[in-house]
Chain A
Amino acid sequence: MRDVYVIGAAMRRFGKFPDLSVQEMGSEVVWRAIREAQISIRDVQMAYCGHAYQGSTIGQKVLSRLGMTGTPIVNVENACASGTTAAFGIWSAIASGMIDVGIAVGVENLTRKVSGMLPLHPDDLDSSMGRVMPPLFAMIARRHMTEYGTTVEQLAKISVKNHFHGSLNP
């Protein structure tokens, strides 16, 4: 395995954008990352696209807007870890020596796809019985509080820290 370097990165503002397509938002940040890296789009040998609920071949739809065709494009859905999985995929390809330059992009427009909580999965037994995600985390928190004496204040500090970090995003 060889070292892998980040040579360009970009992100756009988070929010609700019902009038913007995933293709528009995704291609915008890919273009900015390419510009920051000072490379050509033709230098990119492989792409990973992480997403949830965006449908089939969303990576191809995003990247074809920049004329990036003919390169391998891998779409990954891995829930909250989709973006990390895309980064892991490109890291593996470069670290192993298979390619020299790749891009990982994460895209979603959930505003257009779902409203409220993420839908229950009918084939998952616990989910089909009404175990939506926020209550699942609430149950984990309650058990943690029982087992370790964790307080509401301590859990709130995590939220404060995370919101602070989020506020630093562009």
Chain B
Amino acid sequence: MEEPKDLHSVPIGKGIFVWPIQEGEKPSLLGSRCKSCGTFFYPPISVCHHCYQEETLETVPLSRRGKLYTYTTVQMAPPGFRAPYHIGYVDLAEGVRVFGHMEGELSVGMEMELSLGIIKKNQEGVPVIGPIFRPVQG
């Protein structure tokens, strides 16, 4: 049987999240966890950068929330993007720092939550899906 294909959007990167998201599921970014030393990595890698043992990595979903490390607003859009847009880095509980687009009123240190959404259009005009973080309400 053929896999159902979403012709209206494509994910960014290779294997950094599952796309499309299943009905009722919340998205996570995927990272590597070393079964030997317990260190996490993002994006997924092929050999542990901490203990350098072989065949110790497994792909795992990472925390959906984290603290905003830094951010800025891009005013000049590269091809495919629409300015202005916000970008930044979020520190997750696993000790990894992830890049994504940001939405909402931002300040360094605030709690952010992951969603997936359109961040640009590719050369064929197809929307490209990537991580978008928003401040946690409340």
A: residues with CB less than 8 A from B are 116-117, 119-120, 125-126, 128-132, 134-135, 138-140, 142-143, 146
Contact = CB atoms under 8 A, between A and B. Distances in A.
Interface string B38-57: 00000100000000000000
B39 to A, nearest CB: 19
Question: What 6 A-B pairs are tightest by C-beta distance, nearest first?
Answer: A143-B70, A138-B72, A126-B99, A139-B70, A146-B108, A135-B72
B43 A129 contact: no
Nearest to B107: A146
Interface string B58-101: 00000000000111111011110100010111000000000111
B108 to A, nearest CB: 5
Given A129-B87, A129-B101, A131-B87, A120 B70 contact: no
Contacts of B30: none
B70 A130 contact: no
Nearest to B43: A125
B77 to A, nearest CB: 8
11 contacts: A116-B76, A117-B76, A120-B79, A125-B99, A129-B12, A129-B119, A130-B120, A131-B87, A134-B76, A135-B74, A142-B70
A128 B108 contact: no
